[in-house]
Amino acid sequence: MIIHTLGPEQTDSYAAALVYQHQHSVADCQIVLHPSFDALYHHLADYPSDYLLVPAAYRSRAGLSWGDLHYRYLNQLTLVDSLITQLDPLVLVQDPQRARAVVYTHAATADLARQHLPGNVRLELAPSKYLAYQAFRRYGGYALVSQKLVDPTAGVRILQHFPARMLWSVYLIEKQN
> In angstroms, rounded to a whole number, what is the distance separating the alpha carbons of residues 61 and 29?
29
Query: What is the percentage of the chain residues whose pLDDT exceeds 90?
Result: 85
Q: Which amino acid is at 16?
A: A
Backbone angles phi, psi at 164, to 5 degrees: -155, 150
**Residue 48, SS3?**
coil
Q: How confident is the prediction along the chain (177 residues), in pLDDT tens digits per residue?
A: 999 999 999 999 999 999 999 998 877 889 999 999 999 999 999 999 999 999 999 988 888 999 999 999 999 999 999 999 999 999 999 999 988 999 999 989 999 999 999 999 999 999 999 999 999 999 999 999 999 999 888 889 999 999 999 999 999 999 987
- What is the rounded radius of gyration, in angstroms, for the C-alpha atoms of the chain? 17
Run of H or E residues at 104? strand 102-106
Whole-prediction pTM: 0.84
Burial 47-78 (b: 16+ CB within 10 A, else e): beebbbbbbebbbbeeebebeebbeebeebbe
> In angstroms, rounded to a whole number, what is the distance separating the alpha carbons of residues 17 and 51?
10
Q: What is the DSSP string of 61-94?
A: TT--BHHHHHHHTTTTEEEEEEEEEEPPPEEEEE
